[in-house]
Structure 1
Amino acid sequence: MAKFDHDSVVPYKESGLTKKQQVAEMFNRIAFRYDFMNRFLSAGIDVGWRKKALKQLAEEKPKIILDVATGTGDIAIMAYELLKPDKITGIDISEKMLEIGKEKVLKLGLEQYIDLQSGDSEAINFPTGSFDAVTVAFGVRNFEHLEQGLEEIKRVLKPGGKLVILEFSKPKITGIAQLYNLYVGIVAPQMASIVSNNRKAYQYLNKSVQGFPEGKTFVEILNNVGFRNTSCKKLSLGICSIYCGVK
């Protein structure tokens, strides 16, 4: 498996824990403010990003979906609303995030359609060929071993099944790029320290975005793992990207 710069980007440099363990700990700490901070820091634009990502599955009409790094279940819930599959399973390594997600699912009365459970993207506890589609929203940056996670996703997809990844990227337009770097590098962590008392989590967000192999590079990684019909679609002047691939 290839090693990428982002694999070694961790939330807490002084910690002796692995990246996976640190990410789980970080999300456990910020879970109570996670949904609010997403809406607040993106001015609500992230909701539209998620909808556009899920629309990539409209033609496929998947019946069984896996949402990797499901967090508080936003994509899983939206996938049910937009695609009406028979079953959505969401997995995540953060128990606190899952607790909040499960509460949301129960409140909406969707527990017979959406099952959120503890799970590791690099060792997915389902048989080969279990899912028609897999989604990952803002989660691949947190994989400790990027190719291993993508290989596992490909394994649990049915032949012809589709992967849709939504992830932050770095805008290239002069002026926009500088404003973006200022915002995610200084403004967002400062705001996060005030609202959620966890500046390091949002400093990690910036570092993990900077270290992530985005755009054509990530598409090539998908190709190398064995996905076909791969693509990258940039959103909001390049702040975010949708990646697709088929097993």
Structure 2
Amino acid sequence: MGVTACGALCGRHRQLLLLLARGFCSGFRRFSAEGETHFGFQTVSEAEKGEKVYQVFESVAKKYDVMNDSMSLGIHRLWKDILLHQMNPYPGTQLLDVAGGTGDIAFRFINYIRSQRERQVQQKLRSHQNLSWQEILKSYQEGEQKSLGGSHVVVCDINKEMLTVGKQKACHLGYSEGLSWVVGNAEELPFNDDKFDIYTIAFGIRNVTLIDQALKEAYRVLKPGGRFLCLEFSQVNNPLISRIYDLYSFQIIPVLGEIIAGDWKSYQYLVESIRRFPAQEEFKEMIEDTGFLKVEYRNVSSGIVAIHSGFKL
């Protein structure tokens, strides 16, 4: 009886060990298939990064604009203006702004198009010197009714909190015409192929888990002849400025995050994510590998940020 019981017990042990081994291997295979990536300086699974990034921007959404001004000393506004001037959109342009929840690029786009339309109306009036007062008034009224000339911007962001902040700003600032808001993932955009003239992503692509996939989606939704524009923190090319920038980034920005937003960790991540993002030449190659042509980049503020541009030809 003792031998039989011992044999049965050993058999059960073997079965238990086999089940544990199978479970471990299955879990390992799932983790391996899922892949690893980085969250700042941490190594995490791809699914975990998506969740963590979402939590970061959910946490900072309400203080996002204030923190941008504090961290960049207001210079981020100039960088975004430079992006719009490089874009140089014309009336009728269809823009997709990805990861643009707070509306900074969208509002600038609308302002730029309105300015272009006003210039067109004035040029039209100058070319017709003999118009009556009624005809001049009619031209201005028509210009106001079609102030965007058919242009439209879609703001797409995965984070609902960021979109909420953007919608509130739009309402407060009086933006309504030619503007829509969509919840969507940069890696799987909810739009048809060949839909937009321009795709922009400003300070967002470094937070995407699968950057290659986001670039493919950008290519897919652009019309033939469409343009990809990315404004992102990059690699500083001046050694002295680089040392000062590192000191400011790691010693000052997280402290500002704690003081202004009560969130040290989120701003520590944002600083670390900048250092993990590919340098200018490497990111240029990634864009080219996607299929974009005439790819180039422009360093701004000694490479603290760079604007990458490419065309779907």
TM-score, with length taken from structure 1: 0.92
In structure 1, the residue corresponding to 2:187 is in which secondary structure?
coil
1:88 to 153, 164, 170: 153
Return the alpha-carbon distance in structure 1 between the equivalents of residues 86 and 49 of structure 2. 30
How far is 1:12 from its partner? 9.8
Map of 2:48 onto structure 1: 18
State whether structure 2 residue 93 is matched by structure 1 residue 56. Answer: no
Aligned in 2, Cα 1:69/1:62: closer, same or farther, shift over 3 Å?
farther
Structure 2 counterpart of 1:8, which letter?
A: T
| Contact preservation (8 Å) 2:41, 2:273 | no
Q: Which moved more, 1:49-58 or 1:110-119?
A: 110-119
Q: Which moved more, 1:54-63 or 1:115-124?
A: 54-63
1:168 to 233, 236, 240: 233
Based on CA coordinates, which of the two structures has the bigger radius of gyration?
Answer: 2
Map of 2:166 onto structure 1: 101
Return the alpha-carbon distance in structure 2 between the equivalents of residues 94 and 203 of structure 1. 19
Map of 2:37 onto structure 1: 8
State whether structure 2 residue 262 is matched by structure 1 residue 232. Answer: no
| Contact preservation (8 Å) 2:100, 2:155 | yes
Return the alpha-carbon distance in structure 1 between the equivalents of residues 286 and 91 of structure 2. 26
Return the alpha-carbon distance in structure 2 between the equivalents of residues 23 and 91 of structure 1. 16
How far is 1:60 from its partner? 5.9
State whether structure 2 residue 62 is matched by structure 1 residue 32. Answer: yes
Map of 1:131 onto structure 2: 196
Return the alpha-carbon distance in structure 2 between the equivalents of residues 130 and 143 of structure 1. 22
> What RMSD over aligned residues (CA atoms) do the two structures have, in Å?
1.9
Structure 1 counterpart of 2:71, which letter?
A: L
Q: Which residues of structure 1 form unaligned runs of 5+?
A: 1-6
In structure 1, the residue corresponding to 2:294 is in which secondary structure?
strand
| Contact preservation (8 Å) 2:41, 2:272 | no
Map of 2:96 onto structure 1: 66
Count of matched residue positions in the alignment of Structure 1 and Structure 2: 241
How far is 1:111 from its partner? 2.0
How far is 1:54 from its partner? 1.4
How far is 1:170 from its partner? 2.2
In structure 2, the residue corresponding to 1:237 is in which secondary structure?
coil
Structure 2 counterpart of 1:27, which letter?
A: F
In structure 1, the residue corresponding to 2:307 is in which secondary structure?
strand
Q: Which moved more, 1:188-197 or 1:133-142?
A: 188-197
TM superposition outliers: structure 1 runs of 4+ over 3 Å: 11-17, 59-62
In structure 1, the residue corresponding to 2:262 is in which secondary structure?
coil
| Contact preservation (8 Å) 1:12, 1:200 | no
TM-score, with length taken from structure 2: 0.73
Sequence identity percentage: 34
Map of 1:150 onto structure 2: 215
Q: Which residues of structure 2 form unaligned runs of 5+?
A: 1-35, 115-147
| Contact preservation (8 Å) 2:196, 2:226 | yes
